[in-house]
Amino acid sequence: MTKTEKPVKIPQVHASNTPLPGRPVKGSESGRPIMAALNLLSRRWVLRIIWELREEPRGFREMQALCDRMSPNTLSTRLGELKEAGIIEHDETGAWALTVLGRKLSPALKAMAEWSGEWAAAVDRGDIG
């Protein structure tokens, strides 16, 4: 390399299709962070997994029991994607737990839970439609 040449930054290559900021995702070839987050969080079962881990770490079988009708293969895939994305990790006992970054999703999920209760009450009262 000569003095005028700049080092080439080699992009990190990921073998999986886990949405990550900077990686092209459905709806964003540039991989804008919000588009990567929406892609990841919209995958089937992902929000449910995060919701079930919001209060305490849980093992694989417990997660499967909490997430009705989820196949072991799907759970394993989603847990792997969330781990690669930095949302969950194994704790010291080997159970799945939210990372610091994953716990930062809690306020948004709690707000959604509150909103869903208000929505359900409006439906019950016949206030929609």
Residues 80-104 pLDDT 10s: 999 999 999 999 999 999 999 999 9
Mean residue pLDDT across the chain: 88
* pLDDT at res. 14: 42
38 within 8 A of 27, measured Cβ to Cβ? yes
The one-letter amino acid code at 38 reads L
Instruction: Categorize the per-residue pLDDT at 3 as very low, low, confident or very high, splitting at 50, 70 and 90.
Output: low
What stretch of H or E contains 92? Answer: none
- Residue 111, helix vs strand vs coil: helix
Give the number of residues written for the chain.
Answer: 129
* pLDDT at res. 69: 80
How far apart, in whole angstroms, are the C-alpha atoms of residue 75 and residue 86?
16
- Residue 73, helix vs strand vs coil: helix
27, two tokens: 């709806």
Exposure letters 97-106 (e unless 16+ CB within 10 A, then b) = bbeeebeebe
Domain range 33-125, CATH architecture? Orthogonal Bundle (1.10)
Give the Cα-Cα-Cα angle 19, 23, 26 (nearest 5 degrees).
Answer: 60
